[in-house]
């Protein structure tokens, strides 16, 4: 199993476990509400518990395939709607609001969850100010603020750890540079930044010697590992190198010009020419391409691959 698939599987298992534990907690709330003869809220809690259980089963059936985001949006919408309208009917719905921030930040990416939580918190604040006296108002807002801050801090730490984990997962084990999947993620960000700042974005393509492809697997990987180290030595601190699925390499150079790419190319070729460890290093082909506003990610990668094929 590839590292990216393993990471996806782990994330899936965590989400399934969270849904199961949340369903268990809601079923306990449903039983307590039933004992207190609040049948409506018992039914609502049981309904959410069943929905979470069904969603966990749905995630397991999807496996490593990307699940639709609509069930998550539907669950959050129903939960927010229930709490906002339920608090206007009875105080027993108040404890549900503390569940919302953690639920939102767990299901959605950080930036999306932040917008959802801010909109919900604004509506909740206005409702509490209108419906509750000053004593209860302070208690509810203080407890909700504590839950909200805890959810935000957890989400920020989780986002940072996930970003680092994704970079580790998307690192090629042979060359220790990033793989093509990470290139697509980073290229999307850099293209957006280049459009916003009207700056140049350069891609430098590097093709290994053609005769290396005929070598045995062990010899081939030794040369790729050596080549990856040479490439990394020539990078500036804000340049990034990637190994494509075709075993060509691409160097991403944001905020750069053609002169910067030419200097990098000269440094790389001089470094390779000064090494006699492996044969064929002088046959390395280097080309450059400039991002244009009409480009998309597949077209850029395909274009530079075609140029590398032609120069070989």
Q: What is the pLDDT of residues 251-290, one digit of tens each?
A: 888 888 778 888 888 877 777 776 666 676 677 788 888 8
Per the CB < 8 A criterion, the answer to whether 252 and 203 are in contact is yes
Per the CB < 8 A criterion, the answer to whether 162 and 10 are in contact is no
- Give me the pLDDT at residue 86, please: 67
Q: Is the pLDDT of residue 8 over 50?
A: yes
Question: How far is Cα 267 from Cα 269, in angstroms, rounded to an integer?
Answer: 6
Q: Is the pLDDT of residue 79 over 60?
A: yes
Band of residue 310 on the pLDDT scale cut at 50, 70, 90: low
Band of residue 7 on the pLDDT scale cut at 50, 70, 90: very low
pLDDT tens for each residue of 155-201: 887 777 666 666 666 777 777 888 777 888 888 888 888 888 878 88
- Percentage, residues of the chain above pLDDT 90: 0
Q: Please provide the DSSP assignment of 33-101 as one string.
A: HHHTT-HHHHHHHHHHHHHHHHHHHHHHHHTTSPPPSHHHHHHHHHHHHHHHHHTTT-GGGGGGGGGHH
Band of residue 4 on the pLDDT scale cut at 50, 70, 90: very low
Indicate the range of 25-34, 91-100, 159-168, 292-301 predicted with least confidence.
Answer: 159-168
Burial readout 216-254 (b: 16 or more C-beta within 10 A, e: otherwise): eeeebeebbebbbebbeebbeeebbbbbbeebbbbbbbb
Question: How far is Cα 303 from Cα 135, in angstroms, rounded to an integer?
Answer: 66
- Percentage, residues of the chain above pLDDT 70: 84
pLDDT tens for each residue of 193-233: 888 887 888 888 888 777 777 778 888 888 888 878 888 88
Cβ-based burial of 304 (10 A; exposed 0-12, middle 13-18, buried ≥19): buried
Tell which wins on pLDDT, 162 or 245. Answer: 245
Per the CB < 8 A criterion, the answer to whether 268 and 231 are in contact is yes
The single residue listed with the structure tokens 């809690």 is 45
Mean of the per-residue pLDDT values of the chain: 77
Question: How far is Cα 120 from Cα 80, in angstroms, rounded to an integer?
Answer: 7
Biggest alpha carbon distance in the chain?
A: 84
- Give me the pLDDT at residue 311, please: 58
Per the CB < 8 A criterion, the answer to whether 46 and 26 are in contact is yes
């Amino acid at each position: 199993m590839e590292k990216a698939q393993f990471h996806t599987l782990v994330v899936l298992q965590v989400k399934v476990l969270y849904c199961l534990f949340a369903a268990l907690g809601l079923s306990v709330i449903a039983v307590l509400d039933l004992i207190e003869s609040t049948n409506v809220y018992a039914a609502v809690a049981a309904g959410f518990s069943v929905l979470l259980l069904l969603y966990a089963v749905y995630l397991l059936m999807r496996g490593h395939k990307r699940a639709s985001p609509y069930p998550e949006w539907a669950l959050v919408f129903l939960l927010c709607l229930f709490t906002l309208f339920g608090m206007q009917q009875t105080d027993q719905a108040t404890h549900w609001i503390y569940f919302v921030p953690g639920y939102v930040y767990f299901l959605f990416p950080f930036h999306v969850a932040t917008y959802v939580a801010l909109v919900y918190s604004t509506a909740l604040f206005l409702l509490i100010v209108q419906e509750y006296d000053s004593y209860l108002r302070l208690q509810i807002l203080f407890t909700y603020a504590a839950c909200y801050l805890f959810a935000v801090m957890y989400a920020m730490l989780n986002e940072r750890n996930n970003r680092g984990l994704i970079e580790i997962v998307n690192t090629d084990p042979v060359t220790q540079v990033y793989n093509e999947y990470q290139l697509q993620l980073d290229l999307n960000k850099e293209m957006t930044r280049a459009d916003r700042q009207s700056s140049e974005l350069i891609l430098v393509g590097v093709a290994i010697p053609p005769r290396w492809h005929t070598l045995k697997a062990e010899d081939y990987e030794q040369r790729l590992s050596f080549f990856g180290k040479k490439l990394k030595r020539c990078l500036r601190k804000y340049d990034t190198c990637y190994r494509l699925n075709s075993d060509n390499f691409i160097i991403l150079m944001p905020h750069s010009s053609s002169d910067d790419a030419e200097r990098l190319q000269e440094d790389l070729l001089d470094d390779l020419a000064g090494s006699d460890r492996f044969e064929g290093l002088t046959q390395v082909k280097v080309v450059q391409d400039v991002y244009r506003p009409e480009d998309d990610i597949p077209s850029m990668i395909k274009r530079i691959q075609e140029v590398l094929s032609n120069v070989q």
